[in-house]
Chains A and B, each alone.
Chain A
């Protein structure tokens, strides 16, 4: 049910690679948890990418495929030894195929508290036109 709220989840999901494909960076890559919702004039995407720096987030839109790729540099406190590890630090990557026509020039992206927010305005032609049915 996409409309109901989900409970908090502690585990991260790794990116599934197609067979025969490898990542160039020898690092785990995670699938960021995402919310996508549609309003009358835009598609809004929220993505959890904790630990990434703003400048290391790469967003591309090519032929309706939106890809978000974030590089995360692990920060380790100096002279400390890891005693318990419940999560791994790795990159994030995820792609979505957008069904609507998006106005590419007006895409807005912001990153705050580890959440990337993308507002993808619909192109004028793709905006829903309400057609009212006349009762006869």
Chain B
């Protein structure tokens, strides 16, 4: 006699799975909150009349291993994340943290004063403050009622 050892998934489980799949598919058409970064590191860009602030998460990179340069309206962040120095006799259980060299350029919405650019580093997050050129700051024009 044929004896069935394993329980086949019930039809409802199957329907539920299908529903989840459909939801996931529909979600992918909706606009995302975040634009995926083309390469490491992902950056956030903040803009005001005064200038631009760029932040990026670069955990595990020493401030001296990262370079920031600005040419007109092109910001370049490059550097290297060095692999962890471990002894000979180690056995990895899990290795998810990438390492290696990286370089990324981003076009800024306007030219900035390269001499006044400041970068700070805190808890693995780099914040770059790029003030706008004084002569290029927008001027408020008063509307006079007649």
Contact B90 A52 (CB under 8 A): no
Cβ of B46 and Cβ of A82 under 8 Å apart?
yes
Whether B100 lies near A50 (C-beta < 8 A) is no
- Tally B residues with Cβ within 8 Å of A: 49
Residue among A12, A48, A81, A86 facing the most chain B CB atoms (10 A cut-off): A86
Interface string of A54-72 (1 = CB under 8 A from B): 0000000000000000000
Contact, CB under 8 Å: A37 / B86: yes
The answer to whether the Cβ of B9 comes within 8 Å of any Cβ in the partner chain is no
Q: Which of B40, B47, B91 is within 8 Å of A9, CB to CB?
A: B40
Q: Is A26 an interface residue (CB 8 A)?
A: no
Q: How many A-B residue pairs have CB under 8 A?
A: 158
CB proximity of B19 to chain A, nearest CB, Å: 12
Asked if residues B60 and A48 are in contact (CB atoms below 8 Å), the reply is yes
- Give the dominant DSSP class at B's interface: loop
What is the CB-to-nearest-CB distance from B77 to chain A, in angstroms, rounded to a whole number?
12
Q: How far is the CA of A37 from the CA of B90 in the complex (A)?
A: 6
Q: Is A20 at the interface (CB under 8 A from chain B)?
A: no
Residues in A whose Cβ lies below 8 Å from that of B36: 10-11, 86
User: Which chain B residues border A43 with CB–CB below 8 Å?
Assistant: 93
Nearest chain A residue, comparing its CB with the CB of B92: A2
Interface residues of B (CB under 8 A from A): 33-48, 50, 52-53, 57-63, 81, 83-84, 86-87, 89-100, 102, 109, 121, 123-125
B50 cross-chain contacts in A, Cβ below 8 A: 79
Which chain B residues border A10 with CB–CB below 8 Å? 36-42
Contacts A10-B41, A85-B34, A85-B44 known; 5 new A-B pairs at CB < 8 A: A11-B42, A35-B84, A48-B60, A111-B123, A113-B123
Q: Count chain A CB atoms within 10 A of each CB in B47, B48, B59 and give the residue with the most.
A: B59
- Please report the C-alpha to C-alpha distance between residue A88 and residue B44 in the assembled complex, in whole angstroms: 9
Q: Which B residue's beta carbon lies closest to that of A87?
A: B42
Please determine whether B97 and A86 come into contact, CB atoms closer than 8 angstroms: no
How would residues 1 to 42 of chain A score, 1 for a CB under 8 Å from any chain B CB and 0 otherwise? Answer: 011111111111000000000000000000001111111100
Encode A80-111 as 1/0 by CB contact (under 8 A) with B. Answer: 11111111100000000000000000000001
